[in-house]
Amino acid sequence: MENTTKMRTSPERPEVPIVLMYTAEQREQAMAFELWCDLHEVDAPRQVDVPSLYLDYQGLALCSPGNKRPFRLAEQNLHRRSVGARKGELARACGLNQGDLSVLDACAGFGTDGLTLSMLGCPVTLVEREPLIWVLLQDFARSFDNTQVMFMDCKEALSGDLTWDVVYLDPMFPERKKNALPNQALQHLRYLTQDAQDTSDLTELIQLALNCANNRVVVKRRLKDPVVEGVNFQIKGKTVRFDVYLAK
């Protein structure tokens, strides 16, 4: 990555601050989140009306309305996922056989894909535009070498003069009524982003991404989603496919 522009790393305090509940033993660690969150000391996680955060000895977790148990991002799951992943569809689509390429994960979510690539040796920049998701992700990604987590709309990142070998795009798929329930992480992401004003046009995003990609742009899609023109090849899994657009 050529570092010619400074990228924003964290959000301003949101207009409606994120509620963060913490246990007394975590009082000191909780202060690190004061910039973006309203802090509340509690004995145990409370039922919430809006998505909130909870910090205890196990780390930071998400509390969602209607869910009794806090949801945690687990490094263990990523380790499990990364075993054999070098030969998997994601790594093949990103061209990891060519080496440890630098990656911009432009729609990072909980970072499952981006951090898997980081575990495989790639320096990864993760970009997320939802403040609560960003707070969870930047906390989770702290233990990963060679990663940075940015708070911004990826269109801004893709319009600067930074470049990466691979730009990876996984914007939220529109919900389909017939679909089986997605995994728990994706259900949470869907809920957390339901109010986001999405004006992104995938064709435009791919064009912007191609301006910043030295090697390729990889787009994660559901198997039956339409193909955006210009794709060079596809790698298909059981439920998703990766469309690859090579840099000129």
Ligand X SMILES: C[S@@+](CC[C@H](N)C(=O)[O-])C[C@H]1O[C@@H](n2cnc3c(N)ncnc32)[C@H](O)[C@@H]1O
Q: By CB under 6 A, name the binding residues for ligand X.
A: 107, 109-113, 127-130, 133, 153-155, 170-172, 189, 193, 200
Nearer to ligand X, 154 or 244 (CB): 154
Kindly state the smallest distance separating residue 186's Cβ from ligand X, in Å.
7
DSSP string, 58-112: TEEEEE-TT-SSPB---HHHHHHHHTTGGGSHHHHHHTGGG-S--EEESS-TT-H
Nearer to ligand X, 37 or 108 (CB): 108
The CA-based dihedral angle spanning residues 89, 99, 82, 119, taken in that order and rounded to the nearest 10 degrees: -140
Nearer to ligand X, 110 or 245 (CB): 110
**54 and 44 Cβ atoms separated by less than 8 Å:** no
54 DSSP β-pair partners: 21, 61
**111 and 126 Cβ atoms separated by less than 8 Å:** yes
- Using Cβ positions, the residue closest to ligand X within the complex turns out to be 109
Kindly state the smallest distance separating residue 155's Cβ from ligand X, in Å.
6
Q: Which residue has the tokens 């911004």?
A: 152
Kindly state the smallest distance separating residue 74's Cβ from ligand X, in Å.
13
Kindly state the smallest distance separating residue 31's Cβ from ligand X, in Å.
26
Nearer to ligand X, 154 or 212 (CB): 154
